[in-house]
Amino acid sequence: MRTEPLPSAADALLAEADALLARGRGRNAERLLTPFVGREPENAGAWQRMARARLDLGDLPGALLAAQAAWHLDPYGVESLFWLSQARSRLGDHAEAIAAAAAACREDPGNPRLHNRLAEAQLAAGLPTDAAEGLRCMADMARYDADLHVTYGMALFAIGRPLSAREALGRALAIDFGHAGARAALRRFDQAMSTAIDAASLALAADEFAESLRVHPGRPTPRRPGPGRDALGYVARVALAWFLAAIAGVGILEVTGLLVAPTSLYLALFCAAGAAGCVSALARPASRRGVSG
């Protein structure tokens, strides 16, 4: 009987780190990996995961150090190049970020994830035309990759093609109807288009949108909220609407004489509505709360 080899302790630890990162538990992943890379500093996979964990935590210098360690150990590995490019982009080192992503694409030219990273690096550098052109063919080939179509849509909007941009996001939602990035991009499109009334204002809106995607050196953009935060905000908004409707309904019933509501009921409903409103406000992205990056 043929049996599969048992995974090593290192493989099991890296798999556990992957599971933690997938659940958004970057701090736990970093704590798990820190002693491991101390014992086995030659393990490129561990450094790659450390770079991802630190990026999730907003520790950009630490993420770059981890990504550089992975790259020195595996200079032609696409995963090492991917995280090196990601860290460079977040720090505003755009030439290096684009070079690393382009090198990864040369190593694995059919991988849509790598082309998506290159386009993201170009958008962060203020090169939306390059990003849109680079993804044009890949978008036709990778009809299964929702993330790539979101990035393609953002690049198209940034060069002044809002209808094509919405089509790209429609394809992303057809692949994954609940894709948080696609829905967030649609909201940003609606906000940007609210001031577009003619060709000149459309061009201005596209330029402002492209500028909002840029990362300036020394002023990295804040992390985007994850799907969990988006879901929490949605639930809070729905709850707020129901509580307000309940307050209005109790008031109408009391005015018509069908119900005598105690003061404690109003107090409870107002407190619940206030709590839901606070959670909804806190779950919104920082840029929409008026906080600059």
Tokens of 46: 């561990």
Full DSSP string of 66-128: HHHHHHHH-TT-HHHHHHHHHHHHHHT-HHHHHHHHHHHHHHSTT-HHHHHHHHHHHHHTT-H
Percent of the chain exceeding pLDDT 70 equals: 77
Nearest to 157 by CA among 113, 214, 202, 116: 202
Please report the pLDDT score of residue 118 as a whole number. Answer: 96
| Range picked from 3-7, 115-119, 196-200 for highest mean pLDDT | 115-119
Residues 43-58: tens digit of each pLDDT: 999 999 999 999 999 9
**pTM for this one?**
0.71
Residues 124-134: what's their mean pLDDT? 95
* pLDDT of residue 15 exceeding 90: yes
Q: pLDDT band for 240, please (50, 70, 90 cuts).
A: low
- Across 38-42, 162-166, 279-283, least confident range: 279-283
Residue 148 pLDDT level (bands cut at 50, 70, 90): very high
pLDDT: which is higher, 249 or 123: 123
User: Using CA atoms, how far apart are residues 121 and 157, in angstroms rounded to an integer?
Assistant: 16
